[in-house]
Amino acid sequence: MIVMTAVVFTVVGLWLVGAVIGTIFKLVFGIIGGIFTLIGGLIGIVFGGLALLIVGPLVLLAMLPVFAPVLLLALVVWLIVRANRPQQVVSTPAPTAR
């Protein structure tokens, strides 16, 4: 019975040591993976921003025929509202003697 208990304790002890080592490996590789993920994300943001700066104006120019009627309608509405607005009278205060 004592030998059986010693064998069980040895197996359980080795199991716990293996679990702790596995947990440490998992933690270390998780941290390393997280660092690589952050670096990759930052690089992706930089190159994605550069691509957007290059492609964005081209896409806007390509979409101009689609947006032109809406822009012209907005321009006409703005001109009508501006023409019908009453003129603002700006009065300058009289100079005071000091």
**Could you report the per-residue pLDDT of 17-46, keeping only the tens digit for each?**
999 999 999 999 999 999 999 999 999 999
State percent of the chain over pLDDT 70: 98
| pLDDT at site 98 | 66
Amino acid letter, 23: T
Tell me how many helices (H) and strands (E) the chain has. Answer: 1, 0
Number of folded domains that form the chain: 1
Domain of residue 19 covers 1-82
Structural domain includes residue 92: no
91 pLDDT above the threshold of 80: no
**Cα 18 to Cα 4, 21, 27, 33, 70, distances in angstroms:** 21, 5, 14, 22, 68
This prediction has a pTM of 0.50
Q: How far is CA 41 from CA 29, 44, 70, in A?
A: 18, 5, 37
